[in-house]
Amino acid sequence: MKRAFFPKLFFWLHVRHVRRHPGRAVAVVLGVAIGAAVFTSVRLAMRASLDSFSRSMDAVTGAADRVVIRPGDFVPEEWVARLLARDEVASAAPFLSAYVQDEDQRSSPFLLIGIDPFLDASFRTWSRAGDSRAGWDLVTRPFTLLMTEKLARLLDRSVGDEIRLRHPRGTAAFRIAGILDKEGTGALEGGLAAVADIATFQEFTGLSGWVDRIDLKLRHPGSSRDIEALRRLLPRDLVLERPGSGKAAGQGLLRAYAANLSVLSFVSLFVGMFLIYSLVALNAASRRRETAVLLSLGATSRSVFLLFVTEGLFYGLLGWFLALPLGLPLVRWMVEGVGRTVSVLFVRVAPEDLVLSPWELAVSLVGTLVVSALAAVQPAAEAMKVSPKEAMALSAGRERHGDAGRGPVVPALALIASVWGLSRLPPAGGTAYGGYAATFALFVGFSLLSPYVLRRLGRSSAPALKRVFGPAAYLAGRSVARSGTRVAVSVGSLLTAVALFVALTIMVHSFRNTVNAWVHQTVSGDLFASPRLNEMNRHRNIFSSDQVALLKALASRADLVPFRRFYLQYRNLPYQFEVTDFAAWFPHSGYLWVEGDPASARRSLLEGTGCVVSEVFANKIGLSVGERFRDRIAGVELDLPIVGVIRDYRSQGGVVFFSLPRFREMRLAAGLLTQDEEWSGVRFFVREDRADRAGVLNRIKRTLVEKFGDRVSFIEGNELRDRILRIFDETFAITFVLLFIALVVAALGIATTLAVSVLERSVELNTLSALGGSAAQIRSMIGWEAALLVAAGEVLGLLCGLALSVLLVYGINRQSFGWTFIYEVNGATFLWALPLIFGAALAASFPVVRLALRQSPAALLREL
């Protein structure tokens, strides 16, 4: 066959066929379109968040070759001059940043950056729009700043206006000296940022003499000798590192989340694949004779194969094009939802509205086409095997309906068995590829099992159905028992969606219950107080000495548990190092232990002879009980045995806990203690024996407000715990939307499958009618078939979902985020949800039941 002839043949045989049966094709294309739309919009939304994060980080990082930092602490400013004096260094610039908020709270907290405008020029472009002498005003006039246009608009200010900003150390008035150029800095924090001179910044934040970090440009960036020389120059607690490690760490966190959402959204596309499968298979079967004729006329079997694969691709392509308009509103919603979730959970992002990344579009197009072609391969291969001789047989138009056999039970079981091995493959770059492969192995394995299950189900239920519900139900049972692989595999679409539902419900339930337990055990306390905006500023600020004194005075009313937290990195994993006063804390609460002996671990925490790490830290770093945690934090060299692994669900990495008194001693010994107590936060526990708890809390709160005004913020424990749980629930909103969409596609799948099986069996249905079957009997038969198919889908889906939930809780979550939960099945939910899904899927098949009687039974006499 000539190549040019192929499109024509495809048009003749396929497009015309579609025109005759537009309904099915529309359903299938719609299903694929929904799947592709979900997949594409999730990818685009994730990309928007990732881009926003990268741009922001790049804007901050600038053009530095190396940066000097002091983990957990500030860098003495004098090092700027000392480094500038070195031959190896071409330029050096200090950098400071903090989240501040305007007094009227028109804007959410935004990033204020402190720089030396002149030294900084070779690192970043802070140009004021339309002004090249950007920094001059900042330096010559104290308490001036430049801000982005977006921020100015939010604050309702313009150049020359005054704005009062709040920081834990106080409030100050700034004059807006200009608007920042959109390029470079506009990207910062999604355009919510301002820049001030370093001296102004230090005065405002009380950090005179200190900087966050020093950016360096080297004369010979490649020279390891130069770098070694600089390392030797720096004291041990100053670290010279590559810039952008924060970016890599943040991206690491985001990537795991991105992979999770991508896979979840891909399931809808995967479910759409079953739709394509069932339609191509139907077309292949109903055009069997046509195929035989083609072959007898000289077509090669390869071109027949191609013809049907092209048909799959055709549906995929149509679906993808339809996905674009369908996806647009979805993308908007996703960009916002994903952006919010990412900001709350991982890193602050402000994704732009919608960037139609060509790369993501290509990924979704290729994904859709690959899935579509794969779906068509099996039916195409079947069609290829048609013998040209069938063209001669008079009534060979009909498929030989033999016993459908057991179906591919062995490959199915092999696939399901492979799940264990796959899920144990180590993750690559924080992405649980093995776990995801295992997920799809489960889906496909269980789908392949469905012919066998249908056979058993149909056979075993048929006699009972006959006895209880009469011959129509019996016929349905028989027909289901012998339904070929085609019908069976399309049970897969429902199965997949139900499995996803079951697994996600169990996972989220277990997750939530564990988080709930954690929140009540570990995030305990009646009142939490810290310097203002400290959470956003990564606990960089500590209470001043007089604040500490007052807090101690309040301890007569309630137990006071002080702590200090550092935000650090351990081999690319962001983690928090938290020191707390265990002697005060343990009487009130405790940890949820995963590993280690709680009693002895508690003892060594009290003594300060060991530390406990969170499960996330242990899993991501690969350290566990008995091994040692080594790091240099705020100038203190730590080398501690890990005495326990505990649950912790902070999403920004791992946590290491250690004794606050012991840490203070170490700081003291190293001559680093800046004041008697360095606390970045405290918790109050109202004593159990106090009758008037609410009164005590209120008095403490009143005192805090009176003495500290807006420099200290506090939140009641209950409120904090509620907030954590609320954030948790919001986080899973997207998950459940994706799940719902998968269920919709699956319902579409069941309806199409049934429609296909009804249309395909019109002869059979008409025969029944001719033999005395009443309309009610025939409808009831189709109804029963639908019920049996849906039941099989649900039972298999339930089993598959149980397996998947274990995989999710212990495999994928552990590999992606490092945490596991206490596994718990919420049976009660399934008691109402599974019947509901059953009803919905059945309702989706109602139109099909009507379809069954559309044709006059007299057509029988015209059938060949």
Partner 1 sequence: MTSRPSPASKPLIVARDLSRIYHAGKTRVVGLDHVDLEVGAGEMVVLKGVSGSGKSTLLALLAGLDRPTSGMLHVAGLDLLKASSTALTHFRRRKVGMVFQSFNLLPTLTVLENVCLPGLLAGDSESEVRRRARAWIERMGLGSRMHHLPGELSGGEMQRTAIARALINDPPILLADEPTGNLDSDNGGIVVRLLADLNRSHGRTVVMATHGDLADAFATRIVRLRDGRMV
**Which positions lie near partner 1, rule CB under 8 A?**
394-395, 398, 400-403, 466, 470-471, 474-475, 478-479, 481-483, 763-764, 766-775, 777, 856-858, 860-864
Which one, 192 or 480, has the nearer CB to partner 1? 480
Token pair for 787: 């019920």
168 phi and psi angles, rounded to 5 deg: -50, -30
Helices 717-760, 762-770: crossing angle, 10 deg rounding: 70
Q: How crowded is residue 669: how many other Cβ atoms within 10 Å of its Cβ?
A: 10
Least distance (Å) from partner 1 to the CB of residue 490?
Answer: 17
Which one, 62 or 857, has the nearer CB to partner 1? 857
CA distances in angstroms from 722 to 520, 716, 728, listed in the order given: 10, 10, 10
Which one, 144 or 766, has the nearer CB to partner 1? 766
Least distance (Å) from partner 1 to the CB of residue 46?
Answer: 48
Nearest Cα to Cα of residue 748 among 23, 173, 167: 23
Least distance (Å) from partner 1 to the CB of residue 755?
Answer: 19
Least distance (Å) from partner 1 to the CB of residue 479?
Answer: 5
Which one, 389 or 726, has the nearer CB to partner 1? 389
Q: Render 748-785 in DSSP notation, one character per residue.
A: HHHHHHHHHHHHHTHHHHHHHHHTT--HHHHHHHHHHH
Token pair for 784: 């029963």
Q: In the chain, what is the greatest distance between 2 CA atoms, to the nearest angstrom?
A: 103
Least distance (Å) from partner 1 to the CB of residue 770?
Answer: 5
Least distance (Å) from partner 1 to the CB of residue 382?
Answer: 17
Which one, 332 or 466, has the nearer CB to partner 1? 466
Nearest Cα to Cα of residue 218 among 68, 29, 55: 68
What are the start-end ranges of the H helices in 62-90? Answer: 78-84
| CA atoms of 520 and 513, how far apart (whole Å) | 11
| CA atoms of 308 and 299, how far apart (whole Å) | 13
Which one, 402 or 622, has the nearer CB to partner 1? 402
Which one, 180 or 284, has the nearer CB to partner 1? 284
Which one, 153 or 761, has the nearer CB to partner 1? 761
**What is the chain's alpha carbon radius of gyration, rounded to the nearest angstrom?**
33
Say what the alpha-carbon torsion angle 255, 258, 264, 265 is, to the nearest 10 degrees: -140
790 phi and psi angles, rounded to 5 deg: -65, -40
Least distance (Å) from partner 1 to the CB of residue 388?
Answer: 20
Answer yes or no: are the C-beta atoms of 570 and 631 closer than 8 Å: yes
Which one, 451 or 818, has the nearer CB to partner 1? 451
Say what the alpha-carbon torsion angle 664, 668, 674, 676 is, to the nearest 10 degrees: 60
Which one, 771 or 828, has the nearer CB to partner 1? 771
Which one, 4 or 861, has the nearer CB to partner 1? 861
Answer yes or no: are the C-beta atoms of 80 and 92 closer than 8 Å: yes
What DSSP state is assigned to residue 174?
E
Angle at 394 between CA 393 and CA 398, to 5 degrees: 85
Least distance (Å) from partner 1 to the CB of residue 386?
Answer: 16
Which one, 105 or 395, has the nearer CB to partner 1? 395
| CA atoms of 159 and 183, how far apart (whole Å) | 19
Which one, 393 or 410, has the nearer CB to partner 1? 393
Q: How many alpha carbons lie under 13 Å from residue 797 in its C-beta half-sphere?
A: 31
Least distance (Å) from partner 1 to the CB of residue 457?
Answer: 14
Nearest Cα to Cα of residue 113 among 169, 182, 185, 172: 185
Least distance (Å) from partner 1 to the CB of residue 367?
Answer: 37
Which one, 725 or 763, has the nearer CB to partner 1? 763
Residue listed under structure tokens 């020279």: 223
Least distance (Å) from partner 1 to the CB of residue 772?
Answer: 3
Least distance (Å) from partner 1 to the CB of residue 472?
Answer: 8
Least distance (Å) from partner 1 to the CB of residue 864?
Answer: 6
Which one, 691 or 771, has the nearer CB to partner 1? 771
Least distance (Å) from partner 1 to the CB of residue 731?
Answer: 49
| CA atoms of 745 and 266, how far apart (whole Å) | 12
Token pair for 463: 């006699």
Counting DSSP H helices and E strands in the chain, the numbers are: 29, 21
Burial class (CB in 10 A: 0-12, 13-18, 19+), 533: buried
Least distance (Å) from partner 1 to the CB of residue 283?
Answer: 20
Which one, 242 or 385, has the nearer CB to partner 1? 385
Element (H, E) at 633: strand 628-633
Least distance (Å) from partner 1 to the CB of residue 2?
Answer: 36
Contacts of 496 (CB under 8 A, 6+ apart): 267, 270, 271, 274, 443, 447, 742, 746, 797, 800
Least distance (Å) from partner 1 to the CB of residue 791?
Answer: 18
Say what the alpha-carbon torsion angle 69, 73, 79, 84 is, to the nearest 10 degrees: 30
Instruction: Name residue 631's beta-bridge partners.
Output: 638
Which one, 705 or 775, has the nearer CB to partner 1? 775
Nearest Cα to Cα of residue 782 among 486, 480, 565, 394: 480
Q: Render 307-345 in DSSP notation, one character per residue.
A: HHHHHHHHHHHHHHHHHHHHHHHHHHHHHHHHHHHHHHH
Least distance (Å) from partner 1 to the CB of residue 297?
Answer: 24
Q: Render 253-294 in DSSP notation, one character per residue.
A: HHHHHHHHHHHHHHHHHHHHHHHHHHHHHHHHHHTHHHHHHH
CA distances in angstroms from 801 to 260, 275, 444, 506, 535, listed in the order given: 17, 21, 13, 9, 38
Which one, 49 or 479, has the nearer CB to partner 1? 479
